[in-house]
Amino acid sequence: MRDFYGVTLDTPLMLGTAQYPSPAVLEAAFRGSGASVATVSLRRESGQAQGFWEIIKSLGVHVLPNTAGCHSAREAVTTAQMARDLFDTNWIKLEVIGHADTLQPDPFGLLEATETLAADGFEVFPYTTEDQVLAGRLLDAGAQVLMPWGAPIGSGLGLNNRYGLRTLRAAFPDVPMVIDAGLGLPSQAADALEMGFDAVLLNTAVAQAGDPVAMARAFALAVQAGQLARAADPMDPRDMAQPSTPVIGKAWL
Amino acid sequence: MKLEVNGEHRDVTGPTLADALTELGWGEARVATALNGAFVAKGARGGTDLNDGDRLEVLTPMQGG
């Protein structure tokens, strides 16, 4: 697997920590998922943070703070600086949101914030679209990982633009890429890994499932299957049938 | 002096940001701070003086996707 800023992950699964029915379910889902990375955020102190942080620490996974909810480069940069101070990591999942309904990244703000943060020693995981030109600009700006969306955050629509994602994957074969957002089913996660993406990041699909722990396990198996399949070099699809049973030696009846 | 802390009005003596955090009960807490929209690192709080009307954000780890 391609590494993420020098870190090789045990599994290609990154899992969000929001929206679970209870802290106990969050913990059980995480353990069932085998996720290597937990995404977290920063919010105003309300007195309940300590318990949450203790759970995350006990999971023994890599922590990836986000800048969720930021709508400008300035806001995202300040949030990233605060995240580094709080979580002692240079990793930052950079979200600069451009539209309230689609939660689509603002490509201009994203590029500006990536430039600023990379120059300041951050290891940026930009939440981006499948846009190949933007991807190139983000890499030029100092990002060494890309996180293209599958579909809008929380939509569960899966890989909304497989053509665009395939093209992006092929355009930058050496860049570690994570499909972030929009996954609803384990089959979609397997699909992403079969296409050559290095990991998937999801939250709602597990946290909002009727049985989050079982769904976490299902995603764990799916990403494992997808990763194995990719490494096994899948056959090319073709339009016409080709018999798999040998024709030679067939009886003359 | 009067501050706006996480959107609420609070009276603190100060004079530094580190003093104010202790006063507000966050002396030992794992928090990140921003003053008037600008990040203030842990190590810089003791040397950051507060002024009447300052806007202070005190953030902690929270669930996120």
Check pLDDT > 70 for residue A1. no
pLDDT bin (cut points 50, 70, 90) of residue B14 is: confident
Check pLDDT > 70 for residue B36. yes
Specify whether A57 is catalytic.
Answer: no
Check pLDDT > 90 for residue B35. yes
pLDDT value at residue B28 = 83
Q: Which domain holds residue B17?
A: 2-59
pLDDT value at residue A51 = 86
B26 in any annotated domain: yes
Mean pLDDT across the stretch A34-47? 92
**How many folded domains does chain B comprise?**
1
Alpha carbon distance A26, A56 (integer Å): 9
Alpha carbon distance B50, A174 (integer Å): 48
Residues of B in contact with A18 (CB under 8 A): 63-65
pLDDT value at residue A85 = 96
Mean pLDDT across the stretch A209-221? 98
B38 in any annotated domain: yes
B17 in any annotated domain: yes
Q: Does residue A46 or residue A60 have the better pLDDT?
A: A60
Mean pLDDT across the stretch B45-60? 95
> What tens digit of pLDDT does each residue of A63-110 get?
999 999 999 999 999 999 999 999 999 999 999 999 988 999 999 999
Q: How far is A190 from chain B (nearest CA, A)?
A: 20
Q: Which two tokens stand for residue A89?
A: 């990591």
Alpha carbon distance A178, A193 (integer Å): 9
The closest alpha carbon to B30, from A99, A164, A247, A40, belongs to A40
The closest alpha carbon to A91, from A70, A117, A115, A68, belongs to A117
B64 in any annotated domain: no
Q: How far is CA A34 from CA A186, A206, A224, A246, in A?
A: 14, 13, 10, 42
| A40 closest CB neighbour out of B42, B58, B61 | B61
pLDDT bin (cut points 50, 70, 90) of residue B29 is: confident
> What tens digit of pLDDT does each residue of A145-201 get?
999 999 999 999 999 999 999 999 999 999 999 999 999 999 999 999 999 999 999
pLDDT value at residue A212 = 98
B65 in any annotated domain: no
DSSP three-state, residue A138:
helix
Residues of A in contact with B38 (CB under 8 A): 78
B10 in any annotated domain: yes
Q: Which residues contact A234 (CB under 8 A, 6 or more apart)?
A: A194
Q: How far is B16 from chain A (nearest CA, A)?
A: 19
> What tens digit of pLDDT does each residue of A120-134 get?
999 999 999 999 999
CATH of the domain at B31: 3.10.20.30
B43 in any annotated domain: yes
The verdict on a CB contact (< 8 Å) between B32 and A45 is: no
pLDDT value at residue A64 = 98
ipTM here: 0.94
Residues of B in contact with A49 (CB under 8 A): 30, 60-62
DSSP three-state, residue A83:
helix
Q: Which residues contact A129 (CB under 8 A, 6 or more apart)?
A: A104, A105, A107, A148, A149
Among A84, A93, A137, A169, the one annotated catalytic: A93
DSSP three-state, residue A224:
helix
Q: Does residue A50 or residue A253 have the better pLDDT?
A: A253
